A and B are shown apart, each in its own frame.
Chain A
Amino acid sequence: MKKLTELKKVVSNPYAYVRKYKKQSGKKVVGYFCSYAPEELIWAAGALPLRMFGTSENIHLADTHLQSYCCSLVRGILEEALANRLDFLDGVVFPHTCDSFQRLSDIWRLNITGQFHIDVVLPVKLDTPSAKRYLYDVLEKFRKDLGDALGVKITDKMLAKSIKTYNKIRRLIATLYELRSKNPQILSGADFHAIIKAAMIMDRDYFLEALSEIVGQLKKAKPAKATGGAKRLVISGSVCSHPDIYDIIENSGGVVVGDDLCTGYRYFEGIMDEKKPPLKAITKRYLDRIICPAKHFQLKERGENLIRTVKKSKADGVVFLLLKFCDPHAFDYPYIKEMLEAKKIPCLLLDMEAELPPVGQLQTRFETFVQIL
């Protein structure tokens, strides 16, 4: 799997990839911060959308702007910018999500110079007629603002092309999820994680090509001998930038067969209607996709979705990865846990910082959990 090796190399050092890519292609690079960033428009405009993951190492510059009770994701991203490690960015796009990212946008605008800065102030509720209209209006405004910043007019034709690319990627990823759900052994969790991450970093056309090849090969591959008795788990949380966690789960007798993650299914889910006017199709996708807890859609949507995911992937249990100081997820955890318990679906809560707890400790917790399943 040459392509997989290549993807893994990119993921291990995304900035090196982006710098080289920028030089070779002459394309502009636009940083974005969450899976609600309408990156289909960025790609349509001829720029590379790059998801910001931040760093967990040696955070000190961010301390002069953000107090200790800010989540490590937001702090880690700001650290990268203040340390001048993101100087290749031509611009940034802040979609509205939580209170912390909202203020990160302000702090960024006041302290990081030499790039354009666009706030896409999305609606917070997604289930009313006025919110739907507003989302469309905001995306229309974003199309204009982004076009102005990049010096291009983003036409419907360009959008339609981008939609096609994203649809193809999303269909293939859905296939990948299915393949792994049926035969978890065909691809290790860490490799799977790398593919997902590469989707948010690489040239999307090239990524699509690589992904087609990988999925094609996996389809043909004979499933490795099933390691009998591995317990099937769904993980739920915000951003998961810990490929190790998949390995640790696998070493503990479990296997990840589905997720509700910002860097996972929430990012890929939802095919856009290629027959609709393009911006309407994009709007509809962001209205209908699985919500993140910073958004409002009915009162139990996230719990119901997680139960659906568990059933669909025939999972034995759920692991919550809660990032410390992430308010939206922490508010939802008790009711979702209650809903799972009512359905007799066991779950495990892992409080996380940017850095994982020691491997030994984690493994013991997973092993204990897997044993009760």
Chain B
Amino acid sequence: MVFSSYIFLFCFLPLALLGYYLLPGSTTPHGKRNFFLLCISYVFYGWSNPWFILLMLTATAINYFCGKVIATASVESTRKTALVVSIVASLSMLGFFKYFMFFQSNVSLVMGLFGAGPVHWLNIVLPVGISFFVFQGLTYTIDIYRRESPPARNFFDFAAFVSLFPHLVAGPILRYNTIESQFRDRTHTLEKFASGILLFILGFAKKIILANTAGQVASAVFAAEGPGVMDAWFGAAAYAFQIYFDFSAYSDMAIGLGRMFGFEIIKNFNAPYLSDSITDFWRRWHISLSTFLRDYLYIPLGGNQKGSRRTYVNLAIVMLLGGLWHGANWTFIVWGAYHGALLAFERWRGKHSVYERFPRPFRIAITFVLVLFSWVLFRADTISEAGRYFAAMFGLMDPQPGSALLAGEIYTQGRLALMLVCGLLAVQPLQAYDWAKEVTWGKVAMVLPLFGLALATMFVEAFNPFLYFQF
């Protein structure tokens, strides 16, 4: 189910809130409410495809029982075995459902080199949100193994953590040790609920008004056969805005919804387009993923404790896998490699960029351009398409006869105005997460009409996907 849909806003959410707050005996401990959340989260998830529920339930059960063994076993080898089972089972599931088709297409490619036909062993549909709930399940067993968290009180609490609908399909990635206490005890106050509403509305408006408009521009340009130089840069910038406002909007809505149900979910973005280096960018972009990769991959690999050469290798591995986590495509691998290389380079310079002596606006601009290149890789369907797009950006491609028409589609007054708004909002430091912490009459007077405007806009828009649903 999509947050920015009629059914979510006017059916699912009202019923979820009603049921949650009217539940009898709904004070601490939150067993009943957690169970209710579990049920509605499974409805939320199963709405995209009911069969996927079985997959999530299986992953949840495996991790829960492995966690139980890890928590209760007194022998270290047993604990380790349970952890390995949890990791292998989770990653196998992710590997099969997310990467089998990629593997199959690459086998076909290699076979083709030897004159053989393509192979079609299986046709796997990617379950929505699998990358998120698999990672979250892993944090549970790993945190228990590290003795950083106690095991869940019962299966339902743990299943509610994995499936918690606000963040289920597109994050933020919750780490068990940061939220487990909230499944035992959390507060529900009018203030927290109101703050959640503010954040939810801001996210919703960002998604509907900004991200979707930028997305229309980006889609038109990336679909074009031969965009001109200016069009290609404009399209790449539009995609940069789309992915930021889309993904951060989802995070805002998730955190806002979390607050409505009493949860505090971590901040996921912190003005990433104000970064003045790539290292800075990864401190500000998809924070829950970068901290997950740091704590559950980079540090276990040795982090920066095993010499500089190993540090660069670790960074490269982490970013490559981070790229692959985003999608089963060579474009994501190259995207990860690109960021890994830039991070390793900055690490080699003591976490400083080459352009660190430039004035800050220039550093921000250069970093944005570097990130822009990576978004081209991220957006393109294939490496060759990305190559074609880069060629267009640098004027190395002859414009196609129809490309002159593209200007009429993307440079309309309305789109230019909204792209300008996107640009201004992307480079201002105040984040919705912080802005919504305190509710004032002024903010209320601003967000309620904004909500009405965004809702009415949703009714006329057909273009409404959340980008991170595909991951």
Are A and B physically bound partners?
no
B: which residues have CB within 8 A of A?
none
- Interface, chain A (partner B; CB < 8 A): none
